[in-house]
Homo-oligomer: A and B are copies of this chain.
Amino acid sequence: MTLFPEDKPRDECGVFGIYGHDLDVSRYTYYGLIGLQHRGQESAGIAVSDGESIELYKNLGLVSEVFQKGILKGLKGHIAVGHVRYSTTGSNSVVNAQPLMFNYLKGTLAIAHNGNLTNAERLRNLLSLNGSVFQSSSDTEIFVNLIARYGQDELEDALKKCMIDIKGAYSLVIMAKDKLIGVRDPFGVRPLCIGRLGDGWVLSSESCALDNIGATFLRDVEPGEIVIIDENGLTSHRPMNVGRRALCIFELVYLARPDSVIDGYSVNKTRREMGKQLFREHPIDGDCVIPVPDSGLAAALGYAQESGIPYKFGLMKNRYVNRTFIQPTQEMRDIAVSLKINPIREVLEGKKVILVDDSIVRGTTSRKIVKMLRKSGVREIHLVVSSPEIHFPCYYGIDTSNQEELIARRMDVDGIREHIGVDSLHFLSLEGMLAAAGQEPENFCNACFSGDYPVEVTDQNLSKGILEKGVSR
């Protein structure tokens, strides 16, 4: 949706895996990926093993667009892995779609990855020097090539060696012809959980996809853990223990679905708590609390409940504005936002409004919404945000847009307030956000807010742009 770039950080991917001899694994993966579709809308893919060989199908588009009935029927087996990828402007080729499937000394593997490596450039250079080939700009090829370099080892051992070499955030689902493997990086930056479906096993980025297919949540994959699922059931390896966890707090703030539970945190509850904490820190005496749909829904509810100020739907979202929509011309520009989100005058007119959103990245959409609210006759607009200012880029798999575009890098809070055009603007404090999330604030990665990067960032010029140069998209 290049027309209305949600002014939000975007997760890079969702991964899913399933193992079960009596299960229609490709269909379950299809439904699982639809449950994870919010984590990526650019491409979708499913690979299936029948114990002998692996078949893969992937293409650009939503899960429901990529997979037609006939294609799913052609993917028969008892193990499957799937992947959804987020949308970037201009990236119109299928080369970076996942799962990646490759042959190496020990046979065929399919791999699906969520996250981002922080020493990819160094490893890529090293591998290139020794004759490795990279066919995409995806970090996942680093794993692929490293596994191949350790091709004399058993797969489990190769993976352990990879975990030592590789720095960064990764939740992986890997399929060999006879087994399903889940790997989570030593800090557990990206989520990954395990479920049961009858006698079968499921791996998923988020628990909501387990619910969707009727599977039962078993537990999260632990940071630094390798789980191997084969005919002997599940075995766990813990080659890495770095002494701390660092779940991306942004999964709770915005990325994950409200009905997921990640590392024990209910996403929905956490967001509501952030809203409550937001009121405690910034109590405003308004006429009503208005969420920005859909990102501010839960936090606004928390704010309303803690404050006792009425919760109102003051902005209506049009569900039919989608990617295939014709862009308004330059002169019809304001129509773009209005078509997507329309104010409800009855709620707003003459009111002192407390507008709640979960985060501000570039401030562009906020500004347009505020302009629109003004036209609807609001008296005052007080924007409260259930996370702190984003000062720092994410190196662990979240696209927070270009650093220069981060509004908080360019202005102070008052500058942002003026830019957006609100009467007052308040961000939740870092401490408040972490407190709202739960008891162990040190268990999160909050680098985008604090600059405190838990995982070593080796690459000198680490940026998405660098990695892509000269490589196929």
Question: Within 8 Å CB of A305, what residues of B?
Answer: 310-311
1/0 contact trace for A113-144 toward B, CB 8 Å?
00000000000000011111111000001001
Tally of contact residues, A, Cβ under 8 A: 106
Q: Is the CB of B108 within 8 A of A470?
A: yes
Q: Is the CB of B211 within 8 A of A342?
A: yes
Question: Within 8 Å CB of A30, what residues of B?
Answer: 326
Q: Is the CB of A214 within 8 A of B338?
A: yes
For this chain, the copies found in one complex come to: 4
The yes or no answer to A218 lying at the interface (CB within 8 A) is no
Question: Which stretch, A327-335, A351-359, A382-390, A452-460, touches the partner chain B?
Answer: A327-335
Question: Within 8 Å CB of A313, what residues of B?
Answer: 258, 268, 297-298, 301
Q: Is the CB of A128 within 8 A of B103?
A: yes
Q: Is the CB of A133 within 8 A of B108?
A: no
A94 to B305 alpha-carbon distance, docked (Å) = 50
Closest residue on chain B to residue A347 by CB atoms: B268
Partner of A338, one of B211, B298, B469: B211
Q: Is the CB of B132 within 8 A of A268?
A: no
Q: Is the CB of B134 within 8 A of A105?
A: no
Q: Which of A38, A41, A130, A259 has the most CB of B within 10 A?
A: A259
Q: Which of A52, A151, A320, A347 has the most CB of B within 10 A?
A: A320
Q: Is the CB of B133 within 8 A of A64?
A: no
1/0 contact trace for A300-342 toward B, CB 8 Å?
0100110000111100101111101110110010110011001
Question: Which stretch, A69-77, A279-287, A422-430, touches the partner chain B?
Answer: A69-77
- Nearest first, the 4 closest Cβ-Cβ pairs linking A and B are A266-B346, A101-B472, A131-B149, A37-B320
Return 13 A-B CB contacts under 8 Å, by A number: A28-B332, A34-B339, A67-B326, A69-B326, A95-B101, A102-B134, A102-B472, A104-B128, A104-B133, A133-B133, A208-B316, A213-B332, A214-B335
Q: Which residues of A contact B (CB under 8 A)?
A: 24, 27-28, 30-31, 34-35, 37-38, 41, 47, 52-59, 62-65, 67-69, 71-72, 74, 90, 92-95, 100-105, 107-108, 128-135, 141, 144-145, 148-151, 177, 208, 211-214, 257-259, 261, 266, 268-269, 297-298, 301, 304-305, 310-313, 316, 318-322, 324-326, 328-329, 332, 334-335, 338-339, 342-347, 469-473
